[in-house]
Structure 1
Amino acid sequence: MKGNEISVTRDNLVSEVMNMKNEGCRFVTISTALTAEDAVDVLYHFEKDFEVTHLRLSDHPLAEAMPSISGVYFGALLAENELQDLFGMKFSGLVLDFNRTLYLEEEVTVVPLVNNCKVAGTN
């Protein structure tokens, strides 16, 4: 099921997510893929009446905080915390921030899914 894809920017992401909620869409998850050594594409997946819609934020710099959508869809806090753990991403406005300890121990200093990337503030 391919679904519809809508391009979004960092500035209109939360308002587009709010539109999805107002249309009665169910939040499914967030996925991401490296597009460069220091950037990712982030896809937000929604479903309504067996039709999937994806919001795509392209080439987002890993060093730049993303706006959290957990204020709109509370369950997104798990996917956003997972991306913080595994990709070293940061989300501003996250309703519950595990500070990279949702899946990882505090001693982990390397970002698992990003080559040669250390956690900020570690040696």
Structure 2
Amino acid sequence: MEYLNTIEPITMEQFLPMVIQFKMDGWRLVQICACRLPEQYELSYSFAKGFDMRTLRLTVGEDEPVSSITQVYPCAFIQENEVAELFGVKIESMENDYHHKLYRIARDTPFKEKG
């Protein structure tokens, strides 16, 4: 038996509609991962259904806001807080925003720095 495992590059315009569709189709949020690129971020949102996995890959500018998905997937609040606090990604309308107090860290946004 073969299982689905995809990484799908998407645009900001596709992002929320696809997240909502995943929820309606019974996919569960598995993880949100951030990666620093020159002058931008790469955000990967992984969803699973059974043994299938689909990852939505969103590339955003340093100061480009990203809509929170906590209204669709309430469990995303921890991972969104982590992405905002450690990388400096601007997450908008986040429910349960910890305002950069999730971790006790020596400096703000330690992974924001360019490589």
Shorter-chain TM-score: what band? 0.7 to 0.9
Q: How far apart, in 2, do the equivalents of 1:42 and 1:17 lie?
A: 13
The alpha-carbon deviation at position 96 of structure 1 amounts to 1.4
TM-score by length of 1: 0.82
Query: What is the aligned length?
Result: 112
Higher helix proportion (structure 1 or 2): 2
RCO greater where, 1 or 2, for CA within 8 Å and sep 6 or more? 2
Q: Which runs of 5+ in 2 are unaligned?
A: none
What percent identity do the matched residue pairs reach? 28
1:22 aligns with: 24
Pairing 1:50-65 to 2, within 5 Å after superposition: 50-58=51-59, 60-65=60-65
Runs of 4+ residues deviating >2 angstroms: none
TM-score by length of 2: 0.87
Q: How far apart, in 2, do the equivalents of 1:57 and 1:78 lie?
A: 19
Establish whether residue 79 from structure 1 lines up as the match of residue 79 from structure 2: yes
Superposition RMSD in Å: 1.8
Q: Which runs of 5+ in 1 are unaligned?
A: 117-123
TM-superposition CA deviations, 1:28-86 (whole Å, max 9, x none): 010011121x211100000011111000112x112121111111000001100001110
The one-letter amino acid of 1:35's match is L
